[in-house]
Every structure is written in C-alpha cells, then in structure tokens.
C-alpha cells in the first residue's frame, strides 16, 4: 500500500516514511493540504485502495476541515482509508458519511495501526 501523509512536522514525516518504507510501503509526504489536493484533483486514481494519513493540526487549513471540504470527492475513491493523526476521537465524529473509511490514531500508535491494517 501507499500512504499519502499530510503533516507539517518534518520529523514526523521522516520517521513515518522510514518506518513505513521498512515495512515495504510507499509514502508520498505533503506538508500541507494544498499540495495533496493537487493529487486529489489531477490523479484521484492513485488513491484507490490506499491510505490517507492526515494530521488534524495543520497550518492554513486543519486536516479535519480539509477532509470535510472534499468529503464527497473522497467518497468516490474506492478502497481509500482515511486516518487522522490525533489523540481525540471527537474530531472525527463529524464524518458519519464516510463510515468505516475513516479512523484515527495517535502518532505514537501509528505503526501498530499499520501492522493491523496491512
């Protein structure tokens, strides 16, 4: 699987990329939602059966605000799983429409989530 990671923290990007690559997963990292949105608009088929790992707290537009804004586009992508990097499950309750496509995990537990979902 390829993980599309949106996180503005370069250290988090680096560590997750190394750990995911070591497990045989590709990583495309973005430091803001605008950069990722170009992929969503130009090449949504790249996201089929992949994972979007998005930090809640981002500059310019928070991850949950972005996902809510493009929710209908994300629903059209077969097999896409959206995982928020957050400690707070309250932030994802607004995404009823996405159902089981969406979940959350803390940054300290992300590798456990990956192992369970490979």
Count how many domains the chain has. Answer: 1
What pLDDT does 13 receive? 93
Nearest to 80 by CA among 7, 2, 10: 2
For residues 61 and 50, give the distance between their C-alpha atoms in angstroms, rounded to a whole number: 22
Helix (H) or strand (E) holding 112: helix 110-116
What pLDDT does 75 receive? 83
Q: Is 3 exposed, middle or buried (0-12, 13-18, 19+ CB in 10 A)?
A: buried
Q: What is the pTM of this model?
A: 0.85
Output the tens digit of pLDDT for each of the chain's 118 residues: 899 999 999 998 999 999 999 999 999 999 989 888 888 888 888 889 999 999 888 888 888 888 888 888 888 899 988 888 887 667 667 776 677 777 888 877 888 888 888 7
CATH number, domain with residue 15? 3.40.50.2300
The residue with tokens 């390829």 is 2
Give the domain range for residue 112. Answer: 2-116
- 3-state SS assignment for residue 66: helix
């Amino acid at each position: 699987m390829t993980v599309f990671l949106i996180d503005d923290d370069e250290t988090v990007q680096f560590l997750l990329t190394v750990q995911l690559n070591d497990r045989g997963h590709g990583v495309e990292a973005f430091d803001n939602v605008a950069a990722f949105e170009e992929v969503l608009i130009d090449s949504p088929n790249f996201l089929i059966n992949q994972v979007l790992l998005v930090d809640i707290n981002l500059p310019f537009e928070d991850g949950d605000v972005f996902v809510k804004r493009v929710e209908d586009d994300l629903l059209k992508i077969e097999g896409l799983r959206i995982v928020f990097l957050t400690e707070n499950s309250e932030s994802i309750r607004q995404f009823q429409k996405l159902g089981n496509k969406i979940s959350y995990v803390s940054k300290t537990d992300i590798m456990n989530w990956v192992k369970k979902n490979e």
